[in-house]
Amino acid sequence: MRKRACTWQVPRRAAYPTNRLKQWRGLATRTDKLAIAYQAALHLAAILIWTRR
């Protein structure tokens, strides 16, 4: 970006779903021991985020 007076940047649209998933603390810190449990939680969170849109 060019040097301007404002220092903030507009978030990209692709970053929004990632930021929504970060609100799920268990997914953000990956507290699940098994990969299958993490994957199931990821799918559940994605479905809930998608239905709330």
Q: What is the DSSP string of the chain?
A: ----S----PPPTTHHHHHHHHTSHHHHHT--SSHHHHHHHHHHHHHHHHHH-
Q: What are phi and psi of 32, to 5 degrees?
A: -70, 140
- Structural domain contains residue 3: no
- 43 confidence band (pLDDT: 50, 70, 90): very high
Say if residue 41's pLDDT is above 60. yes
Cβ burial of 39 (10 Å; 0-12, 13-18, 19+) is exposed
- Structural domain contains residue 25: yes
pTM of the complete model: 0.59
Range of the domain at 40: 15-52
- Structural domain contains residue 48: yes
What total of structural domains would you count in the chain? Answer: 1
Say if residue 37's pLDDT is above 80. yes
Q: What would the pLDDT profile of 3-31 be if each residue is shown by its tens digit?
A: 666 666 766 776 777 777 778 888 777 77
- Structural domain contains residue 1: no
